[in-house]
Chain A
Amino acid sequence: MSPLAALLSPAHLLAANGLVLPHVNYTAIMPELILLGGMLLLLGISAVSPRHLPTQVYATATAGIGIASLIASLVLWHDVQKGGPFSAVARAVDIDGFATLVLVLCSCVVILGAFFAAGFLEREQVQGVEYYALALISASGAMLMGSANDLILVFLGLEILSIPLYVMAGLDQRRAASGEAAMKYFLLGAFSSAVFVYGIALTYGATGSTNLASIGSFLAQNVVVSNGVLLGGLALLLVGFGFKVAAVPFHMWTPDVYAGSPTPAVGFMAAVAKIGAFGALLRVLFSTFPTLRTSWQPILWALAILTLLLGALVAVVQRDVKRMLAYSSINHAGFILLGVQAGTSRGAEASLYYLFVYSVLVLGTFGVVAVVGGRGDEGHGIERYRGLAHRRPLLAGSMAVLLLAQAGAPFTTGFFSKLYVIEASIAAHSYALATVAMLSAAIATFFYLRLVFAMFGERAGRQASVAVPVAPAGAGAPGGAAGQFPPVGTLPAGPAVASAAGVLTLERAAGLVDPGRAEAAAVADDDAGPVVADADLQVSPWVWVGLALCVGTTVVLGIWPSPLVDFARHATLLF
């Protein structure tokens, strides 16, 4: 061997520089590996299969991968309960109760997300494995964020979480809005990650490490001279997290992205991005910057108040259900921030519990919205929900349970989640914040109940529209149509929306005395207007399974909350 070759051989280089490759404990990152390996397997199968496999095959596989990673996460949970928390892979990954809870939660989201996606993709006749592959990558990113013990790994997790979500937002190529949503999400997401990286760089400069535990012990032992750099870094980190969790004033992207993206992707996105970002936020603030509590608590206080109030108030005026739910998710982010702001282990526990509850609720709610949206994923106005209970009682009932749980009704998990964060906030003496939270919950109840009343209170959409007396003249014989309709006694006198929808339904109803036949006609020319035809409300068995899981969890754990509460308590014992 020539001297040059010997000099360049890797072993020599490693020895000369004293570079020791870290020992990789594969069990510690097993859930992530299962998701990523499963994703590669799915991509491989779809690449070599001679013709398109039905979407149900991929959904089954994705749910199976999710269950495998759930089992791996529960094994890790068991290990942590038995042997205590441990660090792995050169202390970059920290497996403790908190991390394993995030792992379990992400696995559940993958499973539920697969069910709702299958129903949607089946109806839209979208073939291909992309959605499932992207969902798996994204969930593995959220897992990394929750178990990261290094700011660089938090950043990597953030990107692994976000980049697939940008693509998922733009996956529906038939609608221009989907592409726009992808672009908006991408530009603002990339902006926020650049801010986040700069925050990491400044934190590194002030403390000399990117390891969360090292930074924490450094700050506990030293008085930082360049305090401005450290505080600047912390502030930029908070801005980056604020973007991801959609906290006001960093929420601008949320309504547009939620309105434009394919509906099941929105549910998945809302759940998984909040889990990852809040998981990392809790970890960074509680295990790394507890010494700077007096600096970050006021910032979070202001963020939480703005997020709670703006989310609830703006949601009230929305007519589009997806936008309304987007603002409601901003409101929920405010509630989770309440637990973070408390800065106690009780607050962390309440936040984790809220995250769990919220993920299930938001997945289920957007699952129903995807069904009601109809073919093409376009009909998300509130008028489509009028009288839904009379046509699809079970669907409307599930939606009502999920919405009431989001509003915090008793006997649902939503009630306990709100109760615990407010309790934690009061225990931390943030009385004003807790009061604002309760106020915003009251405001939020209004728009959830409005949707519930729309579903249960009124008859079908077309009859409500006929009652509008101010139909535009160009609508063509509206008077005749109204005259031929059954007596107005069955019609609600409420201020139905005088919209183009009403006009179209009028035209369609003209000449048809029997409402049943009018419905048949509506089915016949499906693309003529936004009338909800029954044929358009096909609920796939996949969606039923997903909904049953979501509603079942919400109600059962709402009546018997102790298992999940204990789970969250054990997870945060170390803080």
Chain B
Amino acid sequence: MSVHASWYLVLAAVLFSIGAVGLLVRRNVLVMFMCIELMLNAANLTFVTFSRALNDIGGQVAVFFVLVVAAAEVVVGLGIIVAIYRRRVGATADDAHILKG
């Protein structure tokens, strides 16, 4: 029994939405960070699904690029977070309040 490709696309869309909403409503930087990863992986799932549906290897290759970029982002992101929160107790985005915005 095979699952139709559209279900994977729906799952990816749901994951992407969870990530996007999570990023906007959660205040913990690390959780926000995880939400970004969720969004990137939703995009990866979409790539793989389309790649299978179209019988084209290009989409699966794209996933590797996205994975590498995500890893690089994690390195820099965690570096920034650590640099900031060495001065603070908890990792809450609202603690950073010098700038207006």
Residue numbers of A with Cβ under 8 A of B are 152, 155-156, 159, 163, 166-167, 170, 173, 176-177, 179-184, 186-187, 190-191, 193-195, 197-198, 200-202, 204-205, 208-210, 252-253, 255-256, 259-260
B93 contacts which chain A residues (CB < 8 A)? Answer: 183, 187
B72 contacts which chain A residues (CB < 8 A)? Answer: 159, 163
Tell whether, in the assembled complex, residue A204 and residue B76 are in contact, meaning their CB atoms are under 8 Å apart.
no
Tell whether, in the assembled complex, residue B73 and residue A159 are in contact, meaning their CB atoms are under 8 Å apart.
yes
Tell whether, in the assembled complex, residue B76 and residue A187 are in contact, meaning their CB atoms are under 8 Å apart.
no
Tell whether, in the assembled complex, residue A194 and residue B101 are in contact, meaning their CB atoms are under 8 Å apart.
no
Complex: A342 Cα to B23 Cα, angstroms:
34
Tell whether, in the assembled complex, residue B99 and residue A166 are in contact, meaning their CB atoms are under 8 Å apart.
no
Complex: A48 Cα to B46 Cα, angstroms:
46
A–B pairs, 8, beta carbons within 8 Å: A179-B96, A182-B80, A182-B84, A190-B36, A191-B36, A201-B50, A205-B54, A210-B58
Tell whether, in the assembled complex, residue B73 and residue A179 are in contact, meaning their CB atoms are under 8 Å apart.
no
- Determine if B83 is an interface residue (Cβ-Cβ < 8 Å): yes
B16 contacts which chain A residues (CB < 8 A)? Answer: 194, 198
* Contacts known (A200-B62, A205-B50); A194 close to B43, Cβ less than 8 A: yes
Q: Could you mark each residue 22-41 of chain B with 1 if its beta carbon is under 8 Å from any beta carbon of chain A, else 0?
A: 01000001001100100110
Tell whether, in the assembled complex, residue A190 and residue B80 are in contact, meaning their CB atoms are under 8 Å apart.
no
Residue of B32, B39, B80, B100 near A198 (CB, 8 A) is: B39
Tell whether, in the assembled complex, residue B39 and residue A176 are in contact, meaning their CB atoms are under 8 Å apart.
no
- Determine if B11 is an interface residue (Cβ-Cβ < 8 Å): no
Tell whether, in the assembled complex, residue B69 and residue A159 are in contact, meaning their CB atoms are under 8 Å apart.
yes
Complex: A180 Cα to B39 Cα, angstroms:
23
B58 contacts which chain A residues (CB < 8 A)? Answer: 204, 209-210
Count, chain B residues at interface, CB 8 A? 45
A179 contacts which chain B residues (CB < 8 A)? Answer: 80, 83-84, 96
How far is the CB of A437 from the nearest CB of chain B, in Å?
26
Tell whether, in the assembled complex, residue B62 and residue A255 are in contact, meaning their CB atoms are under 8 Å apart.
no
Tell whether, in the assembled complex, residue A202 and residue B81 are in contact, meaning their CB atoms are under 8 Å apart.
no
Tell whether, in the assembled complex, residue A186 and residue B99 are in contact, meaning their CB atoms are under 8 Å apart.
no
Tell whether, in the assembled complex, residue A201 and residue B36 are in contact, meaning their CB atoms are under 8 Å apart.
no
Tell whether, in the assembled complex, residue A184 and residue B50 are in contact, meaning their CB atoms are under 8 Å apart.
no
Tell whether, in the assembled complex, residue A194 and residue B99 are in contact, meaning their CB atoms are under 8 Å apart.
no
Tell whether, in the assembled complex, residue A210 and residue B62 are in contact, meaning their CB atoms are under 8 Å apart.
yes
Complex: A191 Cα to B20 Cα, angstroms:
8
Complex: A252 Cα to B100 Cα, angstroms:
11
- Determine if B66 is an interface residue (Cβ-Cβ < 8 Å): yes
- Determine if B98 is an interface residue (Cβ-Cβ < 8 Å): yes
* Contacts known (A167-B80, A170-B80, A183-B84); A208 close to B54, Cβ less than 8 A: yes
Residue of B9, B87, B101 near A184 (CB, 8 A) is: B101
Complex: A186 Cα to B93 Cα, angstroms:
12
Tell whether, in the assembled complex, residue B81 and residue A183 are in contact, meaning their CB atoms are under 8 Å apart.
yes
A180 contacts which chain B residues (CB < 8 A)? Answer: 84, 96, 98-99
Tell whether, in the assembled complex, residue A183 and residue B100 are in contact, meaning their CB atoms are under 8 Å apart.
no
How far is the CB of A288 from the nearest CB of chain B, in Å?
16
Residue of A at shortest CB range from B50?
A205
Tell whether, in the assembled complex, residue A204 and residue B62 are in contact, meaning their CB atoms are under 8 Å apart.
yes
Tell whether, in the assembled complex, residue A194 and residue B39 are in contact, meaning their CB atoms are under 8 Å apart.
yes
Complex: A190 Cα to B78 Cα, angstroms:
12
Complex: A413 Cα to B19 Cα, angstroms:
44
* Contacts known (A186-B76, A201-B50, A208-B54); A255 close to B39, Cβ less than 8 A: no
Complex: A61 Cα to B44 Cα, angstroms:
40
Residue of B at shortest CB range from A257?
B99
* Contacts known (A210-B58, A255-B100); A201 close to B73, Cβ less than 8 A: no
How far is the CB of B73 from the nearest CB of chain A, in Å?
6
Complex: A186 Cα to B36 Cα, angstroms:
11
Residue of A176, A186, A198, A205 near B77 (CB, 8 A) is: A186
**Which 6 pairs across A and B sit closest by C-beta, in order of nearness?**
A194-B39, A205-B50, A201-B46, A256-B99, A179-B84, A197-B43
Tell whether, in the assembled complex, residue B29 and residue A187 are in contact, meaning their CB atoms are under 8 Å apart.
yes
Complex: A197 Cα to B16 Cα, angstroms:
11
How far is the CB of A483 from the nearest CB of chain B, in Å?
38
Q: Could you mark each residue 86-101 of chain B with 1 if its beta carbon is under 8 Å from any beta carbon of chain A, else 0?
A: 0100000100101111
Residue of A at shortest CB range from B56?
A208
Complex: A92 Cα to B68 Cα, angstroms:
18
Complex: A194 Cα to B70 Cα, angstroms:
9
How far is the CB of B75 from the nearest CB of chain A, in Å?
9
Tell whether, in the assembled complex, residue A156 and residue B69 are in contact, meaning their CB atoms are under 8 Å apart.
yes
How far is the CB of A346 from the nearest CB of chain B, in Å?
34
- Determine if B53 is an interface residue (Cβ-Cβ < 8 Å): yes
Other CB < 8 Å A-B pairs besides A183-B29, A193-B69, 17 of them?
A152-B62, A156-B69, A159-B69, A163-B72, A167-B76, A167-B80, A177-B99, A183-B81, A183-B84, A198-B46, A210-B58, A210-B59, A255-B101, A256-B99, A256-B100, A256-B101, A259-B99
Complex: A155 Cα to B65 Cα, angstroms:
9
A163 contacts which chain B residues (CB < 8 A)? Answer: 72-73, 76
Tell whether, in the assembled complex, residue B47 and residue A177 are in contact, meaning their CB atoms are under 8 Å apart.
no
Complex: A180 Cα to B95 Cα, angstroms:
10
A184 contacts which chain B residues (CB < 8 A)? Answer: 96, 99, 101
Complex: A310 Cα to B58 Cα, angstroms:
41
* Contacts known (A155-B65, A163-B73); A200 close to B43, Cβ less than 8 A: yes
Residue of B at shortest CB range from A171?
B83
B77 contacts which chain A residues (CB < 8 A)? Answer: 166, 186, 190
Tell whether, in the assembled complex, residue A176 and residue B100 are in contact, meaning their CB atoms are under 8 Å apart.
no
Complex: A499 Cα to B81 Cα, angstroms:
34
A255 contacts which chain B residues (CB < 8 A)? Answer: 100-101
Complex: A170 Cα to B93 Cα, angstroms:
16
Tell whether, in the assembled complex, residue A194 and residue B80 are in contact, meaning their CB atoms are under 8 Å apart.
no
* Contacts known (A183-B80, A194-B19, A201-B50); A156 close to B39, Cβ less than 8 A: no
Most A-side CB within 10 Å, residue of B72, B100, B101: B101
Most A-side CB within 10 Å, residue of B46, B56, B93: B46
Residue of B53, B96, B101 near A205 (CB, 8 A) is: B53
Tell whether, in the assembled complex, residue B46 and residue A205 are in contact, meaning their CB atoms are under 8 Å apart.
yes
